[in-house]
Amino acid sequence: MNTQDHAPDALSPYCAVFQATVELIGRRWSGAIIRALLAGSTRFGDVLSRVPGLSDRLLSERLRELESAGIVSRVVYPDIPVRIEYRLTDKGRELEKIVADIDAWNARWQGDVAAAAQ
């Protein structure tokens, strides 16, 4: 891959790395989980309660995927009972700007987005 592939003014029509990233972050519930974790480290049940409609199974699956991608870290505290917390890594916290940009885009185009969702 040459440096021209990443120049902001020379976007290629297709980039496999970009596509894989969008599919990871855009996978069902991933964005909501990332957004919930932007508030700080939290336990599994806390994430579940912050994201209405998210099932235990899907949360477990998405946390594993995001952990595999280096976006989320799982911290195990050897208390009795064992306590597990999830937090965004530095890589994951960098998504905060993207979340804010999506919020800003949504605020500008809210009517169009709401109409498309119906």
pLDDT band at 10 (very low <50, low <70, confident <90, very high): confident
pLDDT band at 27 (very low <50, low <70, confident <90, very high): very high
When pLDDT is averaged across residues 30-39 and rounded to a whole number, the result is 96
Is the model's pLDDT at 9 over the cut of 90? no
Is the model's pLDDT at 19 over the cut of 80? yes
Q: Can the peptide bond before residue 78 be classed as cis, meaning omega within 30 degrees of 0?
A: no
Q: What is the pLDDT of residue 3?
A: 46
Check residues 90 and 12 and name the one with the higher pLDDT: 90
Domains and CATH numbers, the chain: 3-117 (1.10.10.10)
CA distance linking residue 44 with residue 63, whole number of Å: 9
CA distance linking residue 64 with residue 100, whole number of Å: 24
